[in-house]
């Protein structure tokens, strides 16, 4: 059965409207788990992973805590991969029933995740409730330096189109503090499912709407969460605007691949996105793709889906994406792409500025130490010379 709450959160979760279609999906998914396990020996594992799209907090009937993430991050996955970081937002600020405001959402998030070094927080922003004023977000960042690595927006849940001017002050704040902004992105076209269900074109979170906002703030890194939908024309629409932004130097767009081609071991739309970004007129731009899952929502949390446990579902998506890359590119290209998409791109986007800042502080401290040491030597030297002259 379809999980309506999860469907609302993500761009386009797989839908089973009838018992027969659910049973069919169960057989397919179980088979894909087995296929993934068989292929795992052909893939370079034991790599570092940053999951750039993760949640805690309330969503629908669920309330996700750090324990829901611990199953992925406390020890290496069975294939040897290690989840180095999860970039986490509080879905209690997204869920429309009993929604928390920016301040209370921050407090709850910190209470849930504590000081876990593997969890990096991004702050959920609510320009619909603040009328575009950023005083609460400014307060949160001022009182919690170094705690957050980005901002999160969910235009669909806010029912505030992504090109609305109420986002602009938040984007200016992001630009000032060099913060990436993760946007929920959604369908450009209607999506027809087995059983007659139709996922309608989104009025609020389409890639073109996010792109319009990003063009107004071209230096702010903007991530299209879910790459505009989970397959076909909708993911292509997201890649279209990313490529256009690169070709015209009009915005700084990225995408995460959460839920893209989520129900098959093959990942044709992810591979197509990689190929297009490898071959832009500006060169290889595959640094614009990030691994993400939306965990622990849907199959990645609770009791899982189709009889598959969350841990197995999580490992499956990693194996499937890596294997698809391996099949589409040479071994050398595949290794480089896997490292970039699963780790390096997110590391550079969310954390390199902090490393640069840290290095800068270290250099300043070292320079000050050197200057101070030189000054002390000079002073001591003068005092020594003076004492010598007095002795003579």
The whole-number average pLDDT for the span 283-299 is: 98
User: 319: pLDDT confidence band, cut at 50, 70 and 90?
Assistant: very high
Is a pLDDT exceeding 60 seen at residue 290? yes
Average pLDDT over residues 97-115: 96
**Burial tier of 267 (Cβ tally within 10 Å: 0-12, 13-18, 19+):** buried
Q: What's the mean per-residue pLDDT of the chain?
A: 85
Token pair of 220 as six digits: 């702010």
For residue 296, is the peptide bond before it cis, meaning its omega torsion is within 30 degrees of 0?
Answer: yes
Q: Which helix (H) or strand (E) covers residue 269, if one does?
A: helix 268-278
How confident is the model over 121-138, as pLDDT tens digits? 999 999 999 999 999 999
Q: Which residues have CB under 8 Å from 203's CB, separation 6+? A: 159, 161
Instruction: Give the residue, 13 or 181, on which the prediction is more confident.
Output: 181
Ramachandran sector of residue 103 (left: φ over 0; alpha: ψ -120 to 50; beta: rest): alpha
**Cβ of 375: how many Cβ atoms within 10 Å?**
10
Q: Identify any residues that bridge with 63 across adjacent strands, giving them in sequence order.
A: 58
Q: What DSSP state is assigned to residue 165?
A: G
Instruction: Give the global pTM.
Output: 0.84
Contact 84/45 with Cβ under 8 angstroms?
A: no
d(CA 176, CA 232): 36
Length of the chain: 392
Q: Does the pLDDT of residue 193 top 90, yes or no?
A: no
Q: In this structure, are residues 21 and 197 in contact, taking their beta carbons and an 8 Å threshold?
A: no
Q: Which of 34-38, 76-80, 369-373 has the least mean pLDDT?
A: 369-373
Where are the extended beta strands (E) located within the chain?
Answer: 48-59, 62-64, 82-90, 119-124, 148-153, 181-184, 191-192, 198-199, 221-225, 252-256, 289-290
Q: Torsions phi, psi of 122, nearest 5?
A: -120, 140
**How far is the C-alpha of 112 from the C-alpha of 152, rounded, in Å?**
18
Rounded to whole angstroms, the Cα distance separating 367 from 57 reads 44
Least confident of 47-56, 222-231, 264-273, 363-372: 363-372
The predicted-structure confidence for 26-64, as pLDDT tens digits, reads as follows 555 555 555 454 444 444 568 999 999 999 999 999 999
Q: Residue 232 has what pLDDT?
A: 95
Quick one: fold of 4-359?
Answer: TIM Barrel (3.20.20)
| Residue with tokens 């902004």, as numbered in its chain | 181
| 151 closest CA partner among 202, 106, 204, 108 | 106
Every domain of the chain and the residues it spans: 4-359
């Amino acid at each position: 059965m379809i999980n309506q709450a999860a469907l609302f959160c993500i761009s386009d979760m797989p839908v089973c409207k009838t018992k027969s279609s659910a049973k069919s999906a169960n057989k397919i998914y179980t088979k894909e788990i087995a296929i993934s396990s068989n292929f795992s020996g052909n893939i370079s594992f034991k790599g570092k992973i940053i999951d750039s799209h993760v949640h805690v907090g309330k969503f629908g009937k669920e309330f996700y805590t750090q324990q829901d993430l611990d199953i992925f991050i406390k020890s290496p996955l069975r294939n040897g991969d290690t989840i180095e970081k999860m970039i986490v937002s509080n879905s209690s600020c997204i869920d429309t029933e009993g929604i928390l405001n920016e301040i209370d959402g921050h407090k709850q998030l910190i209470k849930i995740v504590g000081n876990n070094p593997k969890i990096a927080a991004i702050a959920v922003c609510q320009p619909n409730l603040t009328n575009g004023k950023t005083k609460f977000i400014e307060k949160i960042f001022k009182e919690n330096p170094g705690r957050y690595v980005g901002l999160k927006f969910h235009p669909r849940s806010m029912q505030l189109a992504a090109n609305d001017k109420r986002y602009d002050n938040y984007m200016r704040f992001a630009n000032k503090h060099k913060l990436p902004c993760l946007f929920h992105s959604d369908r450009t076209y209607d999506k027809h499912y087995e059983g007659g269900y139709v996922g309608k074109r989104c009025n609020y979170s389409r890639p073109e709407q996010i792109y319009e906002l990003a063009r107004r703030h071209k230096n702010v890194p903007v991530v299209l969460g879910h790459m505009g939908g989970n397959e076909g024309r909708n993911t292509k629409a997201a890649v279209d605007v990313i490529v256009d932004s690169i070709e015209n130097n009009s915005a700084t767009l990225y995408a995460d691949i959460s839920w893209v081609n989520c129900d098959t071991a093959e990942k044709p739309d992810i591979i197509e996105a990689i190929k297009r970004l490898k071959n832009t007129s500006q060169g290889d731009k595959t640094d614009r793709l990030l691994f993400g899952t939306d965990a622990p929502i849907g199959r990645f949390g609770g009791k899982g889906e189709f009889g598959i446990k969350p841990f197995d579902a999580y490992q499956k998506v990693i194996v499937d994406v890596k294997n698809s890359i391996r099949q589409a590119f040479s071994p050398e290209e595949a290794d480089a792409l896997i490292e970039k998409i699963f780790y390096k791109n997110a590391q550079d986007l969310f954390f390199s500025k902090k490393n640069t800042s840290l290095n800068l502080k270290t250099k300043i401290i070292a320079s000050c130490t050197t200057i101070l040491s030189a000054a002390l030597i000079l002073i001591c030297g003068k005092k020594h010379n003076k004492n010598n002259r007095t002795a003579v």
